Amino acid sequence: MIGAVEKLLTETIGLDAASVGQTVIRQAVKDRMAACRIIDAQAYWEHLTSSAQELQELVNAVVIPETWFFRDREAFTMLARHARENKRTLPIKVLSLPCSTGEEAYSVAMAMFDGGFAAHEFKIDAVDVSTRNVAIAERAVYGRNSFRGSNLEFKDRYFETTEGGLRPNAAVLKQVRFRVGNLFDPRASFGQEAYDILLCRNLLIYFNRALQDRALTCLKDLLAKDGLLLVGPAEGALPRLHGFISAEWPLAFAFLRSEHVNTMAPKPAAIPLRTPVPKVNRSSSALTRPKIGKEGRPQPPAKPVDRISESLIEVERIANAGRVKEAQEVALAHLKAFGPSADIFYLLGLVQDADGAASEAARSYRRALYLAPNHREALVHLALLLRKQGDRSGAEALVGRLDRAQKRSGT
Ligand SMILES: C[S@@+](CC[C@H](N)C(=O)[O-])C[C@H]1O[C@@H](n2cnc3c(N)ncnc32)[C@H](O)[C@@H]1O
């Protein structure tokens, strides 16, 4: 019977049994049989296939609800900034799918408020296939497990103590509307709205390749033409296969549906890597061995600037893969090998920020700005960090500086 249940779950919610392991499904079936007081496997199968409610209970029992506030923090920084820079018709419509127990959707609301948006300027729909998760999200009382990492200053600004834990304040709660729905049944679950920003994080990993493709088609359907899609760290390869382009923001795992909007982060023309980034040969041996040119003649060894750029790209690559600690180590090694530069301090700040080390991150951004006072990304990130820490006037001063720098350079 387990094989048949697995197939039913794949057909219903896309779950690939191999991704969670057979034991999870076996245990869930065992628990549900006990709850229904059924001891015979065939009798349970008949009950399961004739009762929508029992199928929902089994779904509730097998899904992985793992989530927390500001999981992959850069995603939230990035989406608020994307919304500001690509503002079109208000309100901006955001969809958190799957929202699990609500932490992601409420984090979006907090990030949008921190990004300077007023309540009437954005709205968030949050959808999950688990009725149990949606009920928890609506109740909105959170314990320690929902607050992870060390950068938790948002707790003081946006939460109130209540019986059993902490609850987002009324302003945050009001921005989010929860619904039960299935990604594979988009129009029935979501209506006709086209979303400007869609978070589909840490769900695609539970599907097989064919269903990942189907999911991406559904997600594309739900997004506005120039919409932004955010996926989880392990899912970054998939949107590209469906014509999305990377928004090129380290650690945000963000993709644009079409090409005409601003991509924001480390792109040589627009932003940071101030060291010119030549096309590089990414094999590590290229750093030491003379290269052989097309004509077969040995080429001169890589110039120092190539090695610096290559090393910066390596830090970014590791950061983009979500390996925050390793990225910090590689950034520090870069500093030791090549000495201080605005770009390495900015990247170091970014990974420290993503790792929840706010004061170290602020120090690194400031070092970047000491070396390059108009470093656009360092200005933006430090401003966001200060705003999150409640230092509004410090943040405003940096935004003013950013505006002046942009006016001067005509960007
Ligand atoms: C690991 S949580 C991810 C939550 C959040 N997006 C995050 O990244 O923290 C996965 C959620 O996907 C939901 N889910 C699984 N299959 C789904 C489907 N077909 N449609 C909508 N939600 C689904 C589960 O109920 C679970 O709450």
The rounded distance, in Å, linking the Cα atoms of 110 and 157 is 9
**What token pair was written down for 179?**
């619904």
pLDDT at 228: 96
Report the range of poorest mean pLDDT among 144-153, 235-244, 265-274.
Answer: 265-274
Domain ranges of the chain: 2-62, 73-256, 284-291+300-409
The domain covering 284-291+300-409 belongs, at the CATH homologous superfamily level, to: Tetratricopeptide repeat domain (1.25.40.10)
How much is the pLDDT for 187?
A: 65
Contact 239, 253 (CB under 8 A): no
Ligand 1, atom 27: nearest CA belongs to which residue? 100
Any atom of ligand 1 within 6 Å of the Cβ of 6: no
Cβ of 60 less than 6 Å from ligand 1: no
8-state DSSP, 202: S
Under a CB-based contact definition with an 8 Å cutoff, are residues 364 and 341 in contact?
Answer: no
Q: Is the CB of 196 under 6 A from ligand 1?
A: no
Q: Among 10-14, 27-31, 287-291, 397-401, where is mean pLDDT lowest?
A: 287-291
Residue 272 predicted with pLDDT over 50 = no
Task: Give yes or no for residue 184 CB within 6 A of ligand 1.
Answer: yes
Q: Which atom of ligand 1 lies nearest, measured to the CA of 215?
A: 19
Q: For residue 321, name the pLDDT band (cuts at 50, 70, 90).
A: low
Our answer on whether the CB atom of 128 is closer than 6 Å to any ligand 1 atom is: yes
Instruction: Determine the pLDDT at residue 287.
Output: 24
- What pLDDT, in 10s, does the model give residues 27-48? 999 999 999 999 999 999 999 9
Spell out the residues 6+ positions from residue 49 whose beta carbon is closer than 8 angstroms to its own: 8, 55
Q: Do domains 73-256 and 284-291+300-409 have the same CATH topology?
A: no
Q: What percent of the chain has pLDDT over 70?
A: 84
- C-beta 129 within 6 A of ligand 1: yes
Residue nearest to atom 3 of ligand 1 (CA): 202
- Is 233 or 295 the better-scoring residue by pLDDT? 233
Residues 120 and 91: beta-carbon distance below 8 Å: yes
pLDDT at 411 over 50: no
CATH architecture, range 73-256? 3-Layer(aba) Sandwich (3.40)
